[in-house]
Amino acid sequence: MHRPLAILSGPAARTAIAAGQARPLAGGPLAFTLVETPAGLIPATALPPDHPLTAPRAPWAGFDLSRPVIMGIVNVTPDSFSDGGDHAQADAAIAHGRRLLDEGADILDIGGESTRPGAEPVPVETEIARVVPVIRALAAEGAVISIDTRHAAVMKAASVAGARIINDVTALSGDPDSLSVAAATGLPVVLMHIKGEPQTMQVAPRYGDVTAEVFDWLSARIDAAVAAGIARDRIAIDPGIGFGKDLGHNVDLLARTAALHGLGCPLLIGVSRKRFIASLSKGEAPKDRVAGSIATALHTLGQGAHILRVHDVAATVQAVAVWQALQSA
């Protein structure tokens, strides 16, 4: 695993690239001048131009990734950790989706099963009944819909209803049919890292080097997806903050986010309202973690993240607009 260091933005990035002192980070507006390797530090310019850390990313799900993409969360569940079932009914979920689009969401991520720590599994039939009416209504209005599920039958039903992205917290490993179904739909996918199952994942998770292990696990899942017929340019990755990771693991992953660009795929980050924010602050309830969510999201944008999965779309859109302006000034 290689980790970009000394990341630059704005005119400093452009000047360093033009002077032959830096490489673009994942083909975007940021640049890096050093690389941490297992053998020690090397200059970024020692990397070939087609190295995954620096090569441009292909468009994904219709987005050219030239700016941060905002994925708004719509939980059609009675037991979500973040909103306590505020949008468990279809009408409420549809209205919430429309509101997120008005606030600036590019994608709506619709889920019908909570995967919070300790969550009980939901029957597939129940999950389908929750999400399909919401997907069908919002897709008919032109929304780009992502289905947040770990079940192949839900992926298939959602794609028929109009979903255009599959977002699986198990990276298509939780259901033996997921890889083949996802490949057959032809849809872009998000492969997320998880250690264990939602019911048990937060029971003393252990790693030697969490970032390296997440990197290697995601690399293997990318290979499995490609072998199943999912083109590499259809794959985005998510390190799975809070999924089988304690506070130290989450902080380490977030501090070294840029290393995941070595996988060569667009990078999605989901930190919105998660427990580690309260652990670093004053123990706030999920709805009172907006500031910490945005602070973390902007930190990952500074390491080249492409997609932010968030509950609080309006606040995030505003923060990103200001961050972009200041980075380019």
Encoded tokens for 287? 């709805």
* Angstrom distances, CA of residue 8 to CA of 22, 34, 40, 56, 197: 9, 11, 20, 17, 38
Encoded tokens for 261? 């660009």
Quick check: is 274 catalytic? yes
Please, which residues have CB within 8 angstroms of residue 241's CB and are 6 or more apart in sequence? 250, 253, 254, 269, 270, 271, 274, 276
Which among 247, 243, 261 has a CA at the least distance from the CA of 302? 261
| Region label for 307, one of left (φ > 0), alpha (ψ between -120 and 50) or beta (otherwise) | beta
Q: How far apart are CA 242 and CA 259, in angstroms?
A: 18
DSSP 174: S
Q: How far apart are CA 199 and CA 126, in angstroms?
A: 19
Of residues 57, 156, 274, 289, which has the active-site annotation? Answer: 274
Q: Are strands 3-8 and 31-37 parallel, antiparallel or unpaired?
A: antiparallel
| Region label for 102, one of left (φ > 0), alpha (ψ between -120 and 50) or beta (otherwise) | alpha
Quick check: is 309 catalytic? yes
How many beta carbons lie within 10 A of that of residue 174, not counting itself?
A: 17
Of residues 130, 150, 195, 309, which has the active-site annotation? Answer: 309
Q: Are strands 31-37 and 23-24 parallel, antiparallel or unpaired?
A: antiparallel
Q: Which residues are catalytic?
A: 274, 309
